[in-house]
Structure 1
Amino acid sequence: MTDSQELRAGVVGLGMIGGGVAVSMARRGRVPAVHDVRPDASAELAGVPDPLASPAEVAKASDVVMVAVVDAEQARAVIAGDEGLLSAAHPGLTIVLLATVALPVVHELGTLCARHGVAFLDCGVTPGDKAAENGMVAILGGDQATVDTALPVLDDWAKKVVHCGPLGAGMATKIARNVVTYGSWRTVAEAAGLARAAGVDPARLAEVIDTADPEGHTLLQLLRMQGPDGTLPEAIGRKVEPLMSKDLAAARELGDTLGVATPLVEVIRTRARDTLDLADESSSPTAGPEGDALHQRGLQMMDQVYGPGFSKAVDGFSDPFTDQTIDYLFAQVWSREGLSVRDRRLLTLGVAATVGQSQLIQIIANGGLINGELTPDELREAALHLAAYTGWCKATATHTGITAAIDAHTAQEHA
């Protein structure tokens, strides 16, 4: 490896972050080789040369390459595509991924790089609007030797380099930080609403918090962006929404990967449009492509739980209770991997038995029969077991519902 002062740097992706990184390095005298899909991407970036023809060309001219693209697919194309960085990899090359992607993608790309003898670091960055001022924090994941090798280049564009742990740790830290950021925005929106409803000018709220916490810029960012009427300008909301949705989706996926429940992430994500004062695109609180997918997953799980076609009774209706039944109860609770559908059915049957509603019990028992999860004898045994805990009067309703489900299912089988 060359001396630290002779390390050659590269940047792929010259958006706000990548372009800022390139400007910061050029200002320090380490002019990077760059590539962007836009041929004129560096025209207004001080000291940054014209883009090279491909990521492969950047790899040939660099020892440490920062990849500052938007999402996982772009990262895969830049790193492993036909003219990607790995196609022209040389001994000693280090790739530093600045894009926020899911943890499994980090490990996938790390494995690909290792197969080519290329070192790899995941690197969350914040705040992005300070990239061109040597003002970002680099949040690193990877082995210490690779961090030490890349550090001279990283120091040329980051005001602080924080090594968080092994591969993936940087991305996990960045995702966790995003949760704090967007969670605080929702808190500020609700707090400002409370103050306004009480006749308090939100500016006074800002004055109190500023005085108590003068460095709380992230906490107050949403409040400061609001107009005189207390709402966020639509142009700002629409600019922030896709980034907010992407980052929170990454947080949810990280939680799933690590087996950590993230209910607040779901609350923030599903209320994102409310937080950003964007009008509903439909009567559903989860409108949009991701919301539609969630709704469809809920309908499919409803059919899986209670039998094919069961969801037709509610599909097309939209009110807060129905929406949450589909989009939360079935799409996010019944769909979790922690318990089987049979386990969840037995738990639900036990709760239903405590309220003594035979029709509800019949629906639950019928689903178990249709799915082959419970036999008639097992359901009858469940009725007796529950009687000992709920009392004989309520158990009568349980027995009635289970018997009706068995009779209907038997009749259907012999029809």
Structure 2
Amino acid sequence: MNDTLRAGVIGLGMIGGGVAVSLARSGRVPAVYDVRHDAAVDLAGVPGPLGSPAEVAETSDVVMVAVVNADQAREVIDGEDGLLRAARPGLTVVLLATVALPVVHELAALCAEHGVGFLDCGVTPGDKAAENGMVAILGGERETVAEALPVLEDWAKKVVHCGLPGAGMATKIARNVVTYGSWRTVAEAAALVRAAGVDPARLAEVIDTADPEGRTLLQLLGMQDAGGVLPEAVGRQIEPLMTKDLGAASDLAAALGVQAPLVETVRTQARRTLQLDAEPSPAPAKDDVHAYGLHMMDQAYGPGFSSAVQDGSDPFTTETVDYLFAQVWGREGLSVRDRRLLTLGVAATVGRPELVQIIANGALVNGELSADQLRESVLHLALYTGWCKATASHTGVTAAIDAHTAAQPPTAQEQK
């Protein structure tokens, strides 16, 4: 059955013509149609076009429709001489044109009325169609996919079934967003380096060498869970670096007089990208002293830090939460960052590396101090607390930086 399935192709442009050539090379010579009578002249192994789509339907089991737009797809499938005029139950129509999802569902319903199977099939890259080099991105019923698969595999290097009708088209459209969005990214990046006196070819060399398989492009998807959710802890870790680097790009563009609207958009949307844009839970009222103290403890040392003392009922723990954090750290006279630096200085004087580590970790988690700034703090404190006590500060800061770095998602280079 696999060998006897007959293939048809309608539309012999770059994609449809390439599909027809690949089918012919595979030994499944297709029946073809195109409004241009000489469309197959330069297509190796492909016969001349038949007189109408209906004639293709009469001699085919699986027909690829590679037209340009929705109106052409409607005409070819349901027009006066369209496929459905001569279709018999069991025929499968595979739409290769990129059209809106409502059109996909409309055409799928028309085919179903005639007992004809329908698959929406995005394809990429189009310039590899004649070399069995495209990916077929399918939407449709699993049974229909299985029936058409032998023909699809004769012209596609890989067939990816994405789901029910419309799923293939949605995936192809999303793929186009990645493609054209990355083009805009490259255009702005090239403009930046060119304005800085750098040959963009050097930028391409760096990217090709550091990330030859393009893993960074899809790294965000790899960090998300099965439901498409990026863990909050990961987002919080990435955000300071992301905003810092994009801020540097924005500053460079301004200094060089380069228009970089995408940089600004990505920078301002960083929290949404990292799924950190949800409205934060409102802080407890200050008159709920204990709850507010726990809230300020998390503000000082990172989300979840207060969980270790929430059930504490001894006097020292109670006063730590209700007085130290609710009434001192919670005052408006100094920022949390200001109070952290003061506390870091005190911890350095007592030579307690574990306390220094807690304070330094809070600075890293909240993005208030970078690793380099914390290291600089150790050197500064050494001259005031003494070199021996500074060793404890160095130990605590180093432990915090190492733990924070280890929790970061791996880079594309590290994943290799």
Deviation (angstroms), 1:140: 0.1
| Displacement after TM superposition at 1:216 (Å) | 4.3
2:183 is matched with which residue: 182, 185, 192? 185
Number of equivalenced pairs: 221
1:200 maps to 2:198: yes
TM-score normalised by the chain length of structure 2: 0.52
Distance 2:202 2:180 in 1: 22
AA at the equivalent of 2:147: T
| 2:85 aligned with 1:91 | no
Secondary structure, in 3 states, of the residue corresponding to 2:89? coil
CA distance in 1, matches of 2:123, 2:69: 14
**What SS does structure 2 have at the residue aligned with 1:5?**
coil
Of residues 41, 44, 58, the one that matches 1:43 is 41
C-alpha distance in structure 1 between counterparts of 2:82 and 2:56, whole Å: 9
Classify the secondary structure of the residue corresponding to 1:57.
Answer: helix
TM-score normalised per structure 1:
0.52
RMSD: 2.0
Task: Could you tell me which runs of 5 or more consecutive residues in structure 1 were left unpaired when the two chains were aligned.
Answer: 220-263, 269-415
Query: What is the aligned partner in structure 2 of residue 255 from structure 1?
Result: none
What amino acid maps onto 1:76 in structure 2? R
- Determine the C-alpha separation between the residues in 2 that align with 1:85 and 1:160: 26
Instruction: Check conservation: 2:8, 2:56, Cα contact below 8 A.
Output: yes
The 5 Å alignment of 1:351-370 reads none
Q: Counterpart in 1 of 2:241?
A: none
Deviation at 1:197, TM superposition (A): 1.4
**For residues 8-407 of structure 1, what are the structure 2 equivalents within 5 Å?**
8-216=6-214
Alpha-carbon deviation of 1:213?
Answer: 2.0
CA offsets, 1:98-138, max 9 Å, x none? 00000000000000000111000000000000000000000
Secondary structure (helix, strand or coil) at the match of 1:139 reads: strand
| Structure 2 gap segments, 5+ residues each | 218-261, 267-416
Larger Rg over CA atoms:
2
AA partner of residue 33 (structure 1): A
Q: Deviations over 1:120-174 (max 9, x none)?
A: 0000000000000000000000010000000000000000000000000000000
Conservation of the 8 A alpha-carbon contact between 2:19 and 2:130: yes
Separation in 2 of the partners of 1:216 and 1:128? 19
The separation in 2 between residues aligned to 1:90 and 1:80, in whole angstroms, is 14
8 Å Cα contact 2:39/2:49 also seen in 1: yes
Specify the SS of the correspondent of 1:43. Answer: coil
Cα displacement (A) at 1:203: 1.1
Please say if residues 89 and 114 of structure 2, whose CA atoms lie closer than 8 Å, have aligned partners that are also in contact: no
Provide the rounded CA distance (Å) in 2 between the counterparts of 1:187 and 1:81. Answer: 42
Distance in 2 of aligned mates of 1:189 and 1:28: 39
Deviations 1:335-372 (A, max 9, x none): xxxxxxxxxxxxxxxxxxxxxxxxxxxxxxxxxxxxxx
* SS across alignment from 2:103: helix
Residues 227-262 of structure 1 show CA distances to partners (whole Å, capped at 9, x for unaligned) of xxxxxxxxxxxxxxxxxxxxxxxxxxxxxxxxxxxx
Aligned equivalents of 2:170 and 2:95: distance in 1? 13
Secondary structure of 2:3's partner? helix
Mapped partners of 1:27, 1:203: distance in 2:
38
1:214, CA displacement in angstroms? 2.1
Per-residue CA shift, 1:152-207, capped at 9, x if unaligned?
00000000000000000000000000000000000000001111111211111011
1:353 aligns with none
The percent identity for this pair of structures is: 81
